[in-house]
Structure 1
Amino acid sequence: MQKRLHGMLTTHALSLPSINLSTSFDTPAARIPQMSAVVLNPGHSHDEVVQVVRKIRAEDNVGPQHDRGCAGTVEVASFNSSAQIVLSGSREGIMRASEFLREQGIASRAADLPVSTPFHCSFLEPAAEGMRVALEATHLNNPLIPLVSNLDGTMINTTHSLVSNLVAQISLPVRWSKCLRNLAQDRIDRLVFLGPGKALANLARRDATLREKHSGQPSRTEVLSVATDADLEAFAELWKEETAQL
Protein backbone atom coordinates (compact mmCIF):
# COMPACT_ATOMS: atom_id res chain seq x y z
CA MET A 1 0.00 0.00 0.00
CA GLN A 2 1.47 3.32 -1.06
CA LYS A 3 1.54 6.08 1.55
CA ARG A 4 0.86 9.68 0.66
CA LEU A 5 2.82 12.39 2.42
CA HIS A 6 0.35 15.17 1.66
CA GLY A 7 -1.48 16.24 4.79
CA MET A 8 0.28 13.84 7.15
CA LEU A 9 2.23 16.59 8.91
CA THR A 10 -0.69 19.00 9.10
CA THR A 11 -4.24 17.71 9.03
CA HIS A 12 -3.58 14.49 10.95
CA ALA A 13 -1.21 16.01 13.49
CA LEU A 14 -3.31 19.09 14.15
CA SER A 15 -6.45 17.00 14.61
CA LEU A 16 -4.99 15.54 17.80
CA PRO A 17 -6.66 16.93 20.93
CA SER A 18 -3.25 17.67 22.48
CA ILE A 19 -2.01 19.80 19.55
CA ASN A 20 -3.99 22.98 19.09
CA LEU A 21 -2.34 25.95 17.39
CA SER A 22 -5.29 28.25 18.01
CA THR A 23 -6.36 28.09 21.64
CA SER A 24 -9.46 29.83 22.93
CA PHE A 25 -9.92 31.11 26.46
CA ASP A 26 -12.43 28.37 27.32
CA THR A 27 -10.13 25.50 26.33
CA PRO A 28 -9.47 23.22 29.35
CA ALA A 29 -5.94 23.49 30.75
CA ALA A 30 -5.51 19.75 30.20
CA ARG A 31 -5.71 20.37 26.43
CA ILE A 32 -3.64 23.55 26.10
CA PRO A 33 -0.13 22.74 24.79
CA GLN A 34 2.81 24.23 26.65
CA MET A 35 6.58 24.05 27.11
CA SER A 36 8.42 25.42 30.15
CA ALA A 37 12.08 25.72 31.09
CA VAL A 38 12.74 24.61 34.67
CA VAL A 39 15.80 25.91 36.54
CA LEU A 40 17.16 23.43 39.09
CA ASN A 41 18.56 24.44 42.46
CA PRO A 42 22.22 23.59 43.16
CA GLY A 43 22.73 20.02 44.28
CA HIS A 44 19.72 18.60 42.43
CA SER A 45 19.75 16.41 39.35
CA HIS A 46 17.91 15.49 36.17
CA ASP A 47 16.83 12.20 37.74
CA GLU A 48 14.80 14.02 40.38
CA VAL A 49 12.85 15.88 37.69
CA VAL A 50 12.23 12.64 35.79
CA GLN A 51 10.87 11.07 38.99
CA VAL A 52 8.44 13.99 39.43
CA VAL A 53 7.29 13.61 35.82
CA ARG A 54 6.67 9.92 36.47
CA LYS A 55 4.65 10.81 39.56
CA ILE A 56 2.41 13.26 37.68
CA ARG A 57 1.88 10.78 34.86
CA ALA A 58 1.06 7.97 37.29
CA GLU A 59 -1.53 10.19 38.98
CA ASP A 60 -3.15 10.72 35.58
CA ASN A 61 -3.05 6.98 34.83
CA VAL A 62 -0.85 7.35 31.75
CA GLY A 63 1.89 5.02 32.94
CA PRO A 64 5.52 5.62 33.86
CA GLN A 65 7.91 7.93 32.03
CA HIS A 66 10.20 6.02 29.69
CA ASP A 67 13.15 7.08 27.58
CA ARG A 68 10.82 6.84 24.60
CA GLY A 69 7.83 9.15 24.44
CA CYS A 70 4.50 8.07 25.86
CA ALA A 71 1.37 10.17 25.48
CA GLY A 72 0.48 11.91 28.72
CA THR A 73 0.17 15.19 30.53
CA VAL A 74 3.85 16.09 30.87
CA GLU A 75 7.17 14.80 29.54
CA VAL A 76 10.80 15.88 29.63
CA ALA A 77 11.51 17.53 26.26
CA SER A 78 15.12 18.63 26.68
CA PHE A 79 18.03 18.24 29.08
CA ASN A 80 19.58 21.64 28.35
CA SER A 81 22.26 21.69 31.01
CA SER A 82 22.99 20.36 34.48
CA ALA A 83 20.82 23.18 35.85
CA GLN A 84 18.01 23.42 33.28
CA ILE A 85 15.39 21.04 31.90
CA VAL A 86 12.50 21.76 29.52
CA LEU A 87 9.09 20.19 30.12
CA SER A 88 6.56 19.61 27.34
CA GLY A 89 2.91 18.60 27.35
CA SER A 90 -0.32 20.12 28.62
CA ARG A 91 -0.48 23.33 30.63
CA GLU A 92 -2.16 21.55 33.52
CA GLY A 93 0.46 18.82 33.71
CA ILE A 94 3.39 21.22 33.46
CA MET A 95 1.94 23.56 36.10
CA ARG A 96 1.50 20.65 38.51
CA ALA A 97 5.00 19.35 37.88
CA SER A 98 6.55 22.83 38.23
CA GLU A 99 4.70 23.52 41.47
CA PHE A 100 5.78 20.18 42.96
CA LEU A 101 9.41 20.78 41.94
CA ARG A 102 9.38 24.16 43.70
CA GLU A 103 7.67 22.78 46.80
CA GLN A 104 10.31 20.04 47.10
CA GLY A 105 13.13 22.55 46.64
CA ILE A 106 14.30 20.81 43.47
CA ALA A 107 13.69 23.79 41.18
CA SER A 108 13.76 27.52 41.81
CA ARG A 109 11.50 28.65 38.97
CA ALA A 110 9.87 27.72 35.67
CA ALA A 111 9.50 29.96 32.62
CA ASP A 112 6.94 29.35 29.88
CA LEU A 113 8.36 29.21 26.35
CA PRO A 114 6.60 31.12 23.51
CA VAL A 115 5.62 28.09 21.42
CA SER A 116 2.29 26.84 20.10
CA THR A 117 3.08 23.11 20.13
CA PRO A 118 4.75 20.84 22.73
CA PHE A 119 7.88 19.81 20.83
CA HIS A 120 10.20 16.83 21.45
CA CYS A 121 7.55 14.70 23.10
CA SER A 122 5.07 12.00 22.11
CA PHE A 123 2.46 14.59 21.09
CA LEU A 124 4.41 14.83 17.82
CA GLU A 125 4.66 11.14 17.00
CA PRO A 126 2.37 11.63 13.93
CA ALA A 127 4.79 14.28 12.65
CA ALA A 128 7.69 11.88 13.21
CA GLU A 129 5.95 9.29 11.05
CA GLY A 130 5.46 11.94 8.35
CA MET A 131 9.16 12.74 8.48
CA ARG A 132 9.98 9.05 8.11
CA VAL A 133 7.87 8.79 4.94
CA ALA A 134 9.52 11.91 3.49
CA LEU A 135 13.05 10.71 4.21
CA GLU A 136 12.36 7.26 2.79
CA ALA A 137 11.47 8.98 -0.48
CA THR A 138 14.68 11.06 -0.44
CA HIS A 139 18.14 9.96 -1.57
CA LEU A 140 20.75 10.79 1.07
CA ASN A 141 24.50 10.23 1.18
CA ASN A 142 26.64 9.51 4.20
CA PRO A 143 27.61 12.76 5.97
CA LEU A 144 30.96 14.18 4.82
CA ILE A 145 31.39 15.79 8.25
CA PRO A 146 30.40 13.91 11.44
CA LEU A 147 27.16 15.15 12.99
CA VAL A 148 26.28 15.02 16.67
CA SER A 149 23.05 13.27 17.60
CA ASN A 150 20.89 15.35 19.92
CA LEU A 151 19.39 12.10 21.23
CA ASP A 152 22.50 10.75 22.93
CA GLY A 153 25.47 12.93 21.92
CA THR A 154 27.06 10.25 19.73
CA MET A 155 28.51 10.91 16.28
CA ILE A 156 26.40 10.28 13.16
CA ASN A 157 28.46 8.96 10.25
CA THR A 158 26.01 6.93 8.15
CA THR A 159 22.80 7.58 6.23
CA HIS A 160 20.94 5.01 8.33
CA SER A 161 21.80 6.69 11.63
CA LEU A 162 21.08 10.12 10.13
CA VAL A 163 17.56 9.13 9.06
CA SER A 164 16.74 7.34 12.32
CA ASN A 165 17.92 10.32 14.36
CA LEU A 166 16.03 12.89 12.27
CA VAL A 167 12.84 10.90 12.77
CA ALA A 168 13.28 10.06 16.45
CA GLN A 169 14.32 13.54 17.62
CA ILE A 170 10.90 14.94 16.72
CA SER A 171 9.13 13.07 19.52
CA LEU A 172 11.99 12.21 21.91
CA PRO A 173 13.83 14.49 24.37
CA VAL A 174 16.92 16.46 23.37
CA ARG A 175 20.00 15.63 25.45
CA TRP A 176 21.89 18.84 24.83
CA SER A 177 24.02 18.59 27.96
CA LYS A 178 25.22 15.14 26.86
CA CYS A 179 26.15 16.58 23.44
CA LEU A 180 28.32 19.23 25.10
CA ARG A 181 29.91 16.72 27.45
CA ASN A 182 30.83 14.35 24.61
CA LEU A 183 32.24 17.19 22.52
CA ALA A 184 34.37 18.28 25.46
CA GLN A 185 35.65 14.72 25.91
CA ASP A 186 36.59 14.69 22.21
CA ARG A 187 38.78 17.74 22.94
CA ILE A 188 36.80 20.13 20.75
CA ASP A 189 38.49 23.49 21.33
CA ARG A 190 35.84 25.77 19.79
CA LEU A 191 32.06 25.76 19.54
CA VAL A 192 30.47 28.16 17.02
CA PHE A 193 26.71 28.74 17.26
CA LEU A 194 25.06 30.04 14.08
CA GLY A 195 21.65 31.67 13.99
CA PRO A 196 19.56 34.27 15.83
CA GLY A 197 19.71 34.48 19.60
CA LYS A 198 22.37 33.37 22.06
CA ALA A 199 20.48 30.88 24.21
CA LEU A 200 22.48 27.79 23.20
CA ALA A 201 25.80 29.62 23.37
CA ASN A 202 24.98 30.84 26.87
CA LEU A 203 24.07 27.31 27.95
CA ALA A 204 27.39 26.06 26.58
CA ARG A 205 29.32 28.78 28.41
CA ARG A 206 27.65 27.89 31.67
CA ASP A 207 28.45 24.24 31.16
CA ALA A 208 32.07 25.14 30.41
CA THR A 209 32.13 27.09 33.67
CA LEU A 210 30.81 24.03 35.55
CA ARG A 211 33.47 21.79 34.00
CA GLU A 212 36.17 24.23 35.07
CA LYS A 213 34.72 24.50 38.57
CA HIS A 214 34.47 20.76 39.18
CA SER A 215 37.65 19.61 37.45
CA GLY A 216 39.86 22.34 38.87
CA GLN A 217 41.29 22.93 35.41
CA PRO A 218 40.55 25.83 33.06
CA SER A 219 38.08 25.07 30.28
CA ARG A 220 39.77 24.77 26.88
CA THR A 221 36.58 25.14 24.86
CA GLU A 222 35.98 28.55 23.29
CA VAL A 223 32.31 29.41 22.71
CA LEU A 224 31.40 31.83 19.91
CA SER A 225 27.92 33.09 19.00
CA VAL A 226 27.24 34.25 15.44
CA ALA A 227 23.80 35.82 15.86
CA THR A 228 24.03 39.05 13.84
CA ASP A 229 25.50 40.28 10.56
CA ALA A 230 28.31 41.91 12.52
CA ASP A 231 29.04 38.62 14.30
CA LEU A 232 29.18 36.83 10.95
CA GLU A 233 31.60 39.35 9.47
CA ALA A 234 33.85 39.16 12.53
CA PHE A 235 33.87 35.37 12.44
CA ALA A 236 34.62 35.38 8.70
CA GLU A 237 37.69 37.54 9.33
CA LEU A 238 38.81 35.26 12.15
CA TRP A 239 38.36 32.23 9.90
CA LYS A 240 40.42 33.81 7.14
CA GLU A 241 43.24 34.66 9.53
CA GLU A 242 43.37 31.18 11.03
CA THR A 243 43.11 29.27 7.74
CA ALA A 244 45.85 31.45 6.23
CA GLN A 245 48.21 30.18 8.93
CA LEU A 246 47.63 26.51 8.06
Structure 2
Amino acid sequence: MTNNMDTFELSIVPGWIHATAAPAKENRQGAPWEAHIPAAPFAAEETADILRELAGHPLELHALLKGKMPLWLEEDVMSRYVPDLDRATCACGQDGCDHIRLVLEEAERKFRAEPLLRLALLGLPRDRLLNAVFRDWAERVPPAAESSDGDALGKLEEKGKGGPLAGEWLAEAAEQGKLHEPGAGFRDVAVSLRTEPVDEFEVDDWAALLPRVKNVKQIIRQIASDAADKARERADKLNNPAP
Protein backbone atom coordinates (compact mmCIF):
# COMPACT_ATOMS: atom_id res chain seq x y z
CA MET A 1 0.00 0.00 0.00
CA THR A 2 1.06 3.56 -0.44
CA ASN A 3 0.49 6.57 1.78
CA ASN A 4 0.32 10.33 1.42
CA MET A 5 4.07 10.61 2.01
CA ASP A 6 4.68 9.37 -1.54
CA THR A 7 6.02 12.10 -3.78
CA PHE A 8 5.97 11.91 -7.54
CA GLU A 9 6.43 13.93 -10.69
CA LEU A 10 3.25 14.49 -12.71
CA SER A 11 3.15 14.93 -16.47
CA ILE A 12 -0.06 15.74 -18.37
CA VAL A 13 0.06 15.37 -22.14
CA PRO A 14 -2.62 14.83 -24.80
CA GLY A 15 -4.30 11.54 -24.02
CA TRP A 16 -2.26 10.63 -20.93
CA ILE A 17 -1.54 11.39 -17.28
CA HIS A 18 1.93 10.12 -16.38
CA ALA A 19 3.44 9.97 -12.89
CA THR A 20 6.90 8.84 -11.80
CA ALA A 21 8.11 8.40 -8.22
CA ALA A 22 10.54 11.06 -7.08
CA PRO A 23 14.16 9.99 -6.42
CA ALA A 24 14.64 8.00 -3.21
CA LYS A 25 16.17 10.92 -1.30
CA GLU A 26 12.96 12.91 -1.91
CA ASN A 27 10.59 10.02 -1.33
CA ARG A 28 10.30 8.59 2.19
CA GLN A 29 9.24 5.19 0.89
CA GLY A 30 11.90 5.19 -1.77
CA ALA A 31 10.28 2.38 -3.79
CA PRO A 32 10.39 3.12 -7.54
CA TRP A 33 7.11 3.20 -9.38
CA GLU A 34 5.40 4.87 -12.29
CA ALA A 35 1.74 5.11 -13.27
CA HIS A 36 0.05 5.84 -16.59
CA ILE A 37 -3.61 6.78 -16.95
CA PRO A 38 -5.12 7.20 -20.44
CA ALA A 39 -7.98 9.55 -21.36
CA ALA A 40 -9.65 9.68 -24.77
CA PRO A 41 -9.05 13.05 -26.51
CA PHE A 42 -11.68 15.24 -28.14
CA ALA A 43 -12.95 14.21 -31.54
CA ALA A 44 -11.95 16.52 -34.40
CA GLU A 45 -15.47 17.96 -34.56
CA GLU A 46 -15.47 18.72 -30.82
CA THR A 47 -12.11 20.48 -31.08
CA ALA A 48 -13.29 22.54 -34.05
CA ASP A 49 -16.43 23.62 -32.16
CA ILE A 50 -14.41 24.73 -29.11
CA LEU A 51 -11.93 26.70 -31.22
CA ARG A 52 -14.72 28.36 -33.19
CA GLU A 53 -16.50 29.39 -29.99
CA LEU A 54 -13.35 30.81 -28.39
CA ALA A 55 -12.42 32.67 -31.58
CA GLY A 56 -15.84 34.32 -31.52
CA HIS A 57 -15.59 35.34 -27.84
CA PRO A 58 -12.22 36.99 -27.09
CA LEU A 59 -13.20 37.84 -23.50
CA GLU A 60 -13.81 34.18 -22.74
CA LEU A 61 -10.44 33.30 -24.27
CA HIS A 62 -8.79 35.92 -22.06
CA ALA A 63 -10.56 34.51 -18.99
CA LEU A 64 -9.34 31.01 -19.90
CA LEU A 65 -5.75 32.27 -20.17
CA LYS A 66 -6.17 33.82 -16.73
CA GLY A 67 -7.28 30.49 -15.23
CA LYS A 68 -11.09 30.72 -15.41
CA MET A 69 -12.77 28.30 -17.78
CA PRO A 70 -16.03 29.55 -19.35
CA LEU A 71 -19.07 27.74 -17.96
CA TRP A 72 -20.11 26.26 -21.32
CA LEU A 73 -16.60 24.89 -21.88
CA GLU A 74 -16.33 23.54 -18.33
CA GLU A 75 -19.58 21.62 -18.79
CA ASP A 76 -18.39 20.18 -22.11
CA VAL A 77 -15.01 19.23 -20.72
CA MET A 78 -16.30 17.69 -17.50
CA SER A 79 -18.81 15.58 -19.40
CA ARG A 80 -16.08 14.50 -21.81
CA TYR A 81 -13.22 13.91 -19.36
CA VAL A 82 -13.40 10.31 -18.17
CA PRO A 83 -10.07 8.65 -17.28
CA ASP A 84 -9.86 5.13 -18.66
CA LEU A 85 -9.14 3.35 -15.39
CA ASP A 86 -9.46 -0.06 -17.02
CA ARG A 87 -6.28 0.68 -18.98
CA ALA A 88 -4.47 2.54 -16.20
CA THR A 89 -1.27 0.85 -15.10
CA CYS A 90 1.23 1.10 -12.25
CA ALA A 91 4.65 -0.57 -12.27
CA CYS A 92 5.14 -0.75 -8.49
CA GLY A 93 4.15 -4.42 -8.35
CA GLN A 94 2.30 -4.04 -5.05
CA ASP A 95 -1.02 -5.67 -4.28
CA GLY A 96 -3.68 -3.10 -3.41
CA CYS A 97 -1.59 -0.26 -4.82
CA ASP A 98 -3.34 3.09 -4.64
CA HIS A 99 -0.88 5.09 -6.77
CA ILE A 100 -3.54 5.53 -9.44
CA ARG A 101 -5.85 7.17 -6.92
CA LEU A 102 -3.11 9.49 -5.65
CA VAL A 103 -2.17 10.49 -9.19
CA LEU A 104 -5.78 11.25 -10.10
CA GLU A 105 -6.23 13.38 -6.96
CA GLU A 106 -3.10 15.40 -7.76
CA ALA A 107 -4.15 15.76 -11.39
CA GLU A 108 -7.52 17.16 -10.28
CA ARG A 109 -5.76 19.74 -8.12
CA LYS A 110 -3.68 20.75 -11.13
CA PHE A 111 -6.76 20.98 -13.33
CA ARG A 112 -8.56 23.28 -10.88
CA ALA A 113 -5.54 25.59 -10.70
CA GLU A 114 -4.76 25.47 -14.44
CA PRO A 115 -7.83 24.73 -16.60
CA LEU A 116 -5.68 24.70 -19.74
CA LEU A 117 -4.06 21.48 -18.48
CA ARG A 118 -7.39 19.65 -18.70
CA LEU A 119 -7.78 20.85 -22.28
CA ALA A 120 -4.23 19.67 -23.00
CA LEU A 121 -5.10 16.21 -21.67
CA LEU A 122 -8.05 16.09 -24.06
CA GLY A 123 -5.88 16.94 -27.06
CA LEU A 124 -6.04 20.73 -27.09
CA PRO A 125 -2.79 22.10 -25.58
CA ARG A 126 -2.30 25.83 -25.12
CA ASP A 127 -0.08 26.39 -28.16
CA ARG A 128 -2.44 24.61 -30.51
CA LEU A 129 -5.45 26.46 -29.11
CA LEU A 130 -3.88 29.92 -29.41
CA ASN A 131 -2.41 29.30 -32.86
CA ALA A 132 -5.80 28.17 -34.17
CA VAL A 133 -7.68 31.14 -32.64
CA PHE A 134 -5.23 33.76 -33.91
CA ARG A 135 -5.17 32.13 -37.34
CA ASP A 136 -8.97 32.39 -37.39
CA TRP A 137 -8.79 36.08 -36.47
CA ALA A 138 -6.17 36.76 -39.12
CA GLU A 139 -8.25 35.10 -41.83
CA ARG A 140 -11.26 37.26 -40.97
CA VAL A 141 -9.44 40.48 -41.92
CA PRO A 142 -10.56 41.48 -45.45
CA PRO A 143 -8.05 41.58 -48.33
CA ALA A 144 -6.25 44.88 -48.89
CA ALA A 145 -7.49 46.77 -51.92
CA GLU A 146 -3.95 47.57 -53.03
CA SER A 147 -2.66 44.04 -52.57
CA SER A 148 -1.23 42.78 -55.85
CA ASP A 149 -0.55 39.19 -54.85
CA GLY A 150 -4.05 38.44 -53.57
CA ASP A 151 -2.84 37.46 -50.10
CA ALA A 152 -5.36 37.94 -47.31
CA LEU A 153 -4.74 41.09 -45.31
CA GLY A 154 -3.28 40.51 -41.91
CA LYS A 155 -1.64 37.11 -42.18
CA LEU A 156 -0.61 37.39 -38.56
CA GLU A 157 0.82 33.91 -38.55
CA GLU A 158 3.32 34.64 -41.35
CA LYS A 159 6.61 33.10 -40.29
CA GLY A 160 9.81 35.10 -40.38
CA LYS A 161 13.38 33.90 -40.27
CA GLY A 162 13.84 35.23 -36.76
CA GLY A 163 11.75 36.33 -33.82
CA PRO A 164 8.33 35.09 -32.69
CA LEU A 165 5.29 34.73 -34.89
CA ALA A 166 2.86 37.61 -34.73
CA GLY A 167 0.28 35.24 -33.28
CA GLU A 168 2.68 34.20 -30.53
CA TRP A 169 3.40 37.84 -29.73
CA LEU A 170 -0.31 38.64 -29.52
CA ALA A 171 -0.99 35.51 -27.44
CA GLU A 172 1.69 36.47 -24.94
CA ALA A 173 0.37 40.04 -24.78
CA ALA A 174 -3.19 38.78 -24.25
CA GLU A 175 -2.12 36.37 -21.50
CA GLN A 176 -0.30 39.17 -19.68
CA GLY A 177 -3.23 41.54 -20.09
CA LYS A 178 -1.25 44.01 -22.18
CA LEU A 179 -3.88 44.21 -24.91
CA HIS A 180 -6.31 46.05 -22.65
CA GLU A 181 -4.35 47.45 -19.68
CA PRO A 182 -2.44 50.77 -19.85
CA GLY A 183 1.29 50.87 -19.25
CA ALA A 184 2.97 52.16 -16.11
CA GLY A 185 3.27 55.74 -17.42
CA PHE A 186 -0.20 55.95 -18.88
CA ARG A 187 -1.54 58.42 -16.30
CA ASP A 188 1.52 60.65 -16.62
CA VAL A 189 0.77 61.46 -20.25
CA ALA A 190 -1.23 64.60 -20.90
CA VAL A 191 -3.54 64.33 -23.89
CA SER A 192 -6.10 66.58 -25.46
CA LEU A 193 -9.20 64.69 -26.51
CA ARG A 194 -11.18 65.86 -29.49
CA THR A 195 -13.96 64.43 -31.57
CA GLU A 196 -12.80 62.63 -34.70
CA PRO A 197 -14.97 61.75 -37.71
CA VAL A 198 -16.02 58.12 -37.34
CA ASP A 199 -14.59 56.97 -40.66
CA GLU A 200 -11.55 59.22 -40.81
CA PHE A 201 -9.58 58.57 -37.61
CA GLU A 202 -5.80 58.64 -37.86
CA VAL A 203 -3.91 55.38 -37.44
CA ASP A 204 -0.39 55.28 -36.02
CA ASP A 205 2.29 53.61 -38.11
CA TRP A 206 3.21 50.34 -36.38
CA ALA A 207 5.33 49.04 -39.26
CA ALA A 208 8.55 49.37 -37.26
CA LEU A 209 7.09 47.27 -34.43
CA LEU A 210 5.82 44.50 -36.72
CA PRO A 211 8.35 44.39 -39.58
CA ARG A 212 7.23 41.00 -40.90
CA VAL A 213 3.51 41.70 -40.98
CA LYS A 214 2.11 42.99 -44.26
CA ASN A 215 -0.21 46.00 -44.43
CA VAL A 216 0.15 46.86 -40.76
CA LYS A 217 -1.74 50.15 -41.03
CA GLN A 218 -4.79 48.48 -42.58
CA ILE A 219 -4.73 45.76 -39.91
CA ILE A 220 -4.67 48.31 -37.08
CA ARG A 221 -7.47 50.30 -38.73
CA GLN A 222 -9.58 47.14 -39.06
CA ILE A 223 -8.94 46.11 -35.43
CA ALA A 224 -9.77 49.63 -34.20
CA SER A 225 -12.93 49.71 -36.26
CA ASP A 226 -14.09 46.29 -35.02
CA ALA A 227 -13.29 47.25 -31.42
CA ALA A 228 -15.24 50.49 -31.77
CA ASP A 229 -18.25 48.64 -33.19
CA LYS A 230 -18.22 46.16 -30.29
CA ALA A 231 -17.82 48.97 -27.78
CA ARG A 232 -20.85 50.77 -29.23
CA GLU A 233 -22.87 47.54 -29.09
CA ARG A 234 -21.87 47.01 -25.45
CA ALA A 235 -22.70 50.61 -24.58
CA ASP A 236 -26.11 50.32 -26.27
CA LYS A 237 -26.88 47.18 -24.26
CA LEU A 238 -25.84 48.87 -21.00
CA ASN A 239 -27.84 52.01 -21.72
CA ASN A 240 -30.88 50.15 -23.06
CA PRO A 241 -31.19 46.90 -21.07
CA ALA A 242 -33.67 44.37 -22.30
CA PRO A 243 -36.98 44.45 -20.40
Report if TM-score (shorter chain) is over 0.5: no
Query: Hey, which of these two has a bigger chunk of strand by percent?
Result: 1
**TM-score, normalized by length of structure 1?**
0.23
